Amino acid sequence: MDLSIVVPIYNEEDNIPILHERISDALIDTGLEYELILVDDGSSDNSYPALKRLSSKDDRVKVIRLRRNFGQTAAMAAGFDSASGRVVVPMDGDLQNDPLDIPLLLQRIDEGYDVVSGWRKDRKDTFVNRKLPSILANSIISKMTGVHLHDYGCTLKAYRREVLDDVNLYGEMHRFVPALAHQVGARVTEMPVRHHERLHGKSKYGISRTMKVILDLMTVKFLLSYSTKPIQLFGRWGIYTLCAGFLSGAVTVYMKFFENTSMNRNPLLILTAFLLFMGVQFIVLGLLAELSARTYYEAQGKPIYNIKEKINFA
C-alpha cells in the first residue's frame, strides 16, 4: 500500500460524500494504491450511516467507529494504528483541507523528508478567535520544541509509516507529532497548502482549546528534553531552591546577631523553612521520576535511542 489517508469524522454527514469525491479526483491519475480510513469519533448525526454507504460502494474506504467521542487525537491514533500505507496522511473532514495537496506532500516525502507539515498560509478563518491564538501558539511551540513551523495546527501532513511507529498520542498531542518525530531523528519540513472556508456543519475548534494546547506543550517539552533524565530538571530546581533557602537562613541569622531582629518574628525564617522543604521535595520528585522512567523503558524493552539504518549486520 502506497498511501493511507486518515480522516477523523465528527458530525460531518453533509461533508462526507464531497470529501470522498474530492480525494478520489485528486488521486485518480497518480497511480497510487491507497486506502481512505474514516474514523467516526462518536458522531451524533447520520455520519456513520453515510460512512457505511460509502464503504459499500468503494472498497478503498475503510471505516472505524469509536464507541463514543474520544477527541481528534484519539480518533487519529485509531486511524494510524490501522493504516498500512508506506506514507500516512491525516486531514480534516470539514473540507477545509484540499486533497489536491496530497500529491505535493508525497513529492516532498520522495525528496527524502520523513515528515511534511502543511502550512495554511492563506487561512480562511476569523482573525481574533482562530488566527491570532494560532500565531501566538505556533511561535511559542516552535521556540520550546526547537522545531520551527508556521502552522502546527494544520491537520494535513504526511508521515513515513515508520516515524509514527515511535510516537504515542495522548491528550491533544496530534499537533506535536512533527516535534516528537524530530526527537527520534526524523527530517521535518513544511510547505504551504490550500485552505477553504467551511461549507457545511459547525467548527469544533475554538479559543477554549488554548489551555489544553498549553498543558500538552508542557508535556511535550518535558518529553523532548527530560524524559530519560528527569533528575536533571527536578534536581536542578531542587538545588536552586536549597541554595535560596540557605541564603535566606543566613540572612535570618545575620539579622538576629547583628541587627537584634527576633527570629520568631522574622518572616525570612518561614521562607527559609519553606525553601528548604521545597528543595528536598524537588530532589525526591526527580529521583521518583528517574525510577518511573526506568520502569517505563525497561518493562517494555523500549530503547532510549532510535536507529534509522543498519549496514552489514546479520
Question: In a 3-state reduction of DSSP, which class is residue 237?
Answer: helix
Q: What percent of the chain has pLDDT over 90?
A: 50
Helical (H) or strand (E) element with 179: helix 177-183
Q: What is the mean pLDDT of residues 284-302?
A: 79
Q: Hey, which of 17-31, 169-183, 251-265 has the most confident mean pLDDT?
A: 17-31
Supply 118's cell numbers: 502543511
Q: How confident is the model at residue 47 (pLDDT cuts 50, 70, 90)?
A: very high
Q: Give the neighbor-by-neighbor strand order of the sheet with 188-192.
A: 61-65, 34-40, 3-9, 87-90, 157-160, 115-119, 188-192
**pLDDT at residue 314, rounded to an integer:** 54
Q: Which of 72-86, 188-202, 237-251 has the lowest mean pLDDT?
A: 188-202
Q: Is the pLDDT of residue 83 over 60?
A: yes
Q: Is the pLDDT of residue 311 over 50?
A: no
CA nearest neighbour of 39 among 5, 68, 78: 78
Q: What is the mean pLDDT of residues 288-309?
A: 69
d(CA 79, CA 168): 13
**pLDDT at residue 312, rounded to an integer:** 40
